[in-house]
Structure 1
């Protein structure tokens, strides 16, 4: 079967495999992909080696970014821009796979056992699935929002909005990882229960100015409490003790990184930076942006633009965090089943 043509500035399927004995000295793993530079020149095959799969993939990603723009020499598209364009391709595949499928819990896996132990369809599995859905939805929104325009091949970048969307992705991913990470079933269920209690506490019915109460919201709030209490009773948890332990985003994000090894070292750092953009903390935006002073009759103005290098770092880190989340989901027995064109669930 012929390979599909590559558009300029894109790469083909990335593959990674153990090296042969003859190449073992260059690294235990080799990653490779077909690449077509931005100027439309001939397709090239790029290979990079590494001691681990992760090392080989990281080296290949850097090589792809360099090779995509190496021939064109276009000074408008920076290395950071290329990194973001490359990430957009990877996220597009991830998002399409998600929305073209439905969730399935694998028989005999940890997820099935967790649900049986908790005696609940909601805790912990639907809690996890809700965070995954939020992360994917925000990634899709970012992908669409940053699409290059017809007259500019660079990703469309925003001062605040990029970081705001990535904050939502990181927070949702961290919450799911916090539930999936522990080896002990009881601990996974406890973390999910604490998140459910935190949501219950923060979702009390709100009165409108007229004093009117949303009765449907009030009923749902009470039903949510009953679900949590049933899980607590079955697992031997004390509701008030778990409520005091809390599950605020700051706590969840700062501890979720423990389940990611070295890949999670900067989780709290990037989430905090993105949170400051989300809350429109002007000092952070000014200090971390690219500042240009423009003279004017009134004494001049300070023009602040997005630091694209920093944004590329955020995007790269979030991609690694998303990869880690997907691996964790698979390990715990969460799967996605493709739909057929008629909307039915595939085998």
Structure 2
């Protein structure tokens, strides 16, 4: 039976995530005049890096927490619908998005913040090129996506030039390992150094099929009849509540950084 504190955490998250998503989706993120965010945008020479990258990550977080809230909600009082795999899968992009926002905005000055946003944008660009090239080889080209990826490439080159770097060297450099970013923000997040990485791993960092998450974190119950073999696996409600509380911590850090640096929501 779920303890009341756990149930309160999960129930509160449903309403809290709904409210957060509604606020984010109700307007267009803007940059406040004279702010650090405007300074970063001026250095980059475009509205994509870091502004659109940061805004896109925040919208991704809002989209996925909203989806989880609708998935978990139940018409019955004191009942929530938790899932063996889907909850963790939905929270993975939430963690990744928040980690990347915090890492970008935690840069000590404008050049470092723009460079970090450039690193995240390069991931999108590299994977986009692979996708569009594969589609073209399969004779199913996607012209619209190709045009978007080409435009992103132009923004990347402009930003790299404004930072004093060779654009082609920047675009061809190895991509950053997303798991390493969980360690890079350790000084910003209270608790053990590897806490963020641990939660990231729980949310299917290693296998989208959730095999490792199931083995490590599901509640295992032996069958009532030993001859049956196997086991019954159920979601760990307390673990999901812990994960949600940690996401709340990351959300607070990210929102404070966004506000401090001049990212606003136009209503």
TM-score after normalising by structure 2 = 0.89
**Which residue of structure 1 aligns with residue 100 of structure 2?**
175
Once the two structures are superposed, the pairs formed by residues 241-256 of structure 1 within 5 Å of their partners are 241=170, 243-244=172-173, 246-256=175-185
User: How far off is 1:276 after superposition?
Assistant: 4.4
- Equivalent pair of 1:164/1:277 in contact (CA under 8 Å): no
| Unmatched runs of 5 consecutive residues or more in structure 2 | none
Determine helix, strand or coil for the equivalent of 1:135: helix
User: How far off is 1:83 after superposition?
Assistant: 1.6
Residue 328, structure 1, aligned to residue 257, structure 2:
yes
Find the aligned partners of 1:188 and 1:202 in 2 and give their Cα distance.
22
Most deviating of 167-176 and 212-221:
212-221
Aligned residue among 150, 160, 171 for 1:222: 150
Residues 260-297 of structure 1: CA deviation (Å, up to 9, x unaligned):
35487511110111124862242431331111112348
Structure (1/2) with the larger strand percentage: 1
Find the aligned partners of 2:193 and 2:11 in 1 and give their Cα distance.
23
Find the aligned partners of 1:308 and 1:272 in 2 and give their Cα distance.
17
| Unmatched runs of 5 consecutive residues or more in structure 1 | 1-74, 339-347
Aligned residue among 191, 198, 204 for 1:269: 198
Q: Which has the higher contact order (CA 8 A, sep 6+)?
A: 2
Aligned residue among 116, 122, 126 for 1:201: 126
**Which residue of structure 2 aligns with residue 40 of structure 1?**
none
Q: Cα 1:222–1:242, aligned 2, differ >3 Å: closer, same or farther?
A: closer
Residue 311, structure 1, aligned to residue 240, structure 2:
yes
**Which residue of structure 2 aligns with residue 257 of structure 1?**
186
Residue 154, structure 1, aligned to residue 82, structure 2:
no
Residues 225-258 of structure 1: CA deviation (Å, up to 9, x unaligned):
1111111112202332575352332222331333
Q: Cα 1:136–1:242, aligned 2, differ >3 Å: closer, same or farther?
A: same
**Which residue of structure 1 aligns with residue 41 of structure 2?**
115
Determine helix, strand or coil for the equivalent of 2:141: coil
Q: How many equivalent residue pairs?
A: 263
Q: Cα 1:215–1:90, aligned 2, differ >3 Å: closer, same or farther?
A: closer
- Equivalent pair of 2:37/2:261 in contact (CA under 8 Å): yes
Find the aligned partners of 1:308 and 1:215 in 2 and give their Cα distance.
45
**Which residue of structure 1 aligns with residue 211 of structure 2?**
282
- Equivalent pair of 1:160/1:278 in contact (CA under 8 Å): no
**Which residue of structure 2 aligns with residue 136 of structure 1?**
62
User: How far off is 1:179 after superposition?
Assistant: 1.0
Most deviating of 137-146 and 198-207:
198-207
Residues 112-135 of structure 1: CA deviation (Å, up to 9, x unaligned):
111111111111110100100000
- Equivalent pair of 1:127/1:196 in contact (CA under 8 Å): yes
Most deviating of 217-226 and 134-143:
217-226
Determine helix, strand or coil for the equivalent of 1:336: strand
User: How far off is 1:76 after superposition?
Assistant: 5.9
Determine helix, strand or coil for the equivalent of 2:220: strand
**Which residue of structure 1 aligns with residue 164 of structure 2?**
236
Q: Cα 1:148–1:248, aligned 2, differ >3 Å: closer, same or farther?
A: same
